[in-house]
């Protein structure tokens, strides 16, 4: 499906009367009509459609070029919406909801038949979250339906953290985008499965494993977290994701990056380096991008996708990135980089 123009509604997330905003009401009306609308959350921009409308959900997959076996996350504005979407909310899930909703945590539960089949890729479970972004909550409430929304980017590319990213990837492919400025966390929500006997972490994200375990005790980490899976139970478990156009390589020993850059440039490649503010002056490459501060990995997460897109803008052919500590939100950062590099370290 194509559109002459993807409409853009500019909205102030600090507006105390967002629920009365004509822009939000118009975008919500498009959702009700079965169209696809991009909108900001606290993590990244989502590409939303009515989670109960199969035809609308198909438009998400068409716009993104997303594989049909990759499930979507359903976004709600009120906890009471759960009763129509899931068959049961175990005690452990209730504890996580009380601790982290609204916020960047997706909880997988047993689903009802009200949800469009394509949302769950045929699974008997569904991932649900309540975003904390004021615009996202206002849009869901105005639409009056749960909104299924993967990231609002071309499938496989870095997720969008600004409306400009969305327009770059999907202009003419979706009905509109609600422009609420830059998102906050910068990487997608954490995904945990509460439909199994012991809570399982499927995707690291804005809520850390440590924070979850402080609430409910030790959880399992899915062994396929860094590998391809035949039937993904969560977004981000299968296929190369978040990748810039140039080939990305993760370098575990930062001291070797200078040599790799020199070798690649001798061969005539346009070379980029992804580093942090502390080390940006150390590298002589065609493009050097400072992605946050190494001593505060939350800033790296926040700027990660924008940084990866910067290499596309400057036509980098080969990109070397420093590795980051796998602790706290650094686990999510490295998960995204490993997916973007197709596991090449």
In the annotated binding site for ATP, the residues are 66, 70, 125, 151, 159, 203, 242
Range of the domain at 317: 247-340
pTM metric for this prediction: 0.93
| pLDDT value of position 36 | 98
CA gap 244, 152 in Å, rounded: 15
CA gap 273, 285 in Å, rounded: 7
Are 96 and 147 within one domain? yes
pLDDT in tens, 49-84: 999 999 999 999 999 999 988 999 999 999 999 999
User: Which among 238, 234, 233, 146 has a CA at the least distance from the CA of 189?
Assistant: 234
Are 202 and 259 within one domain? no
pLDDT in tens, 254-283: 999 999 999 999 999 999 999 999 999 999
Domain final position from 187, 221, 255: 221
DSSP count for the chain of H helices, then E strands? 10, 15
Total count of domains within the chain = 2
* Residue at 130 is within a domain: yes
Domain final position from 206, 221, 236: 221
* Residue at 345 is within a domain: no
In the annotated binding site, the residues are 43, 66, 70, 75, 125, 129, 149, 151, 159, 189, 203, 242
| pLDDT value of position 235 | 62
Are 192 and 270 within one domain? no
Q: What is the DSSP letter of 204?
A: -
| pLDDT value of position 299 | 97
pLDDT in tens, 86-140: 999 999 999 999 999 999 999 999 999 999 999 999 999 999 999 999 999 999 9
* Strand residues in 124-199 grouped as ranges (E): 125-129, 147-148, 176-179, 190-193
Whole-angstrom CA distances from 217 to 184, 207, 209, 221 are 27, 15, 10, 13
CATH number at residue 295: 3.40.50.11030
Q: What is the largest CA-CA distance in the chain?
A: 61
CA gap 308, 248 in Å, rounded: 9
In the annotated binding site for L-threonine, the residues are 43, 75, 129, 149, 189
* Residue at 226 is within a domain: no
């Amino acid at each position: 499906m194509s559109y002459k123009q993807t409409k853009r509604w500019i909205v102030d997330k600090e507006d105390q009367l967002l629920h009365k905003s004509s822009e939000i009401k118009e975008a919500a009306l498009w959702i009700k009509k079965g169209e696809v609308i991009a909108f900001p959350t606290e993590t990244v921009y989502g590409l939303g459609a009515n989670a109960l409308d199969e035809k609308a959900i198909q438009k998400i997959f068409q716009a993104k070029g997303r594989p049909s076996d990759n499930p979507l996350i359903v976004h709600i504005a009120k906890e009471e919406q759960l009763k129509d979407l899931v068959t049961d909310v175990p005690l452990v899930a209730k504890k996580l909801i009380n601790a982290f909703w609204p916020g960047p945590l997706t909880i997988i539960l047993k689903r009802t038949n009200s949800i469009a089949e394509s949302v769950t890729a045929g699974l008997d479970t569904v991932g649900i979250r309540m975003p904390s972004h004021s615009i996202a909550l206002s849009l869901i409430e105005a639409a009056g339906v749960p909104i299924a929304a993967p990231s609002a980017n071309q499938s496989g590319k870095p997720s969008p953290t600004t409306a400009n990213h969305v327009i770059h990837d999907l202009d003419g492919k979706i009905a509109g985008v609600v422009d609420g400025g830059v998102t906050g966390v910068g990487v997608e929500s954490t995904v945990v499965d509460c439909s199994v006997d012991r809570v399982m972490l499927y995707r690291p994200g804005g809520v850390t494993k440590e924070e979850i375990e402080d609430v409910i005790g030790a959880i399992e980490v899915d062994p396929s977290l860094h590998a391809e899976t035949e039937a993904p139970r969560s977004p981000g478990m299968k296929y190369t994701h978040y990748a810039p156009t140039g080939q990305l390589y993760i370098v575990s020993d930062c001291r070797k990056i200078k040599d790799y850059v020199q070798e690649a440039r001798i061969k005539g490649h346009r070379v980029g380096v992804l580093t942090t503010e502390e080390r940006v002056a150390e590298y002589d490459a065609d493009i050097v991008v400072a992605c946050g501060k190494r001593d505060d990995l939350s800033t790296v997460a926040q700027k990660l996708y924008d940084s990866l897109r910067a290499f596309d803008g400057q036509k980098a052919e080969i990109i070397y990135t420093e590795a980051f500590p796998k602790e706290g939100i650094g686990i999510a950062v490295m998960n995204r980089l490993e997916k973007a590099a197709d596991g090449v370290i």
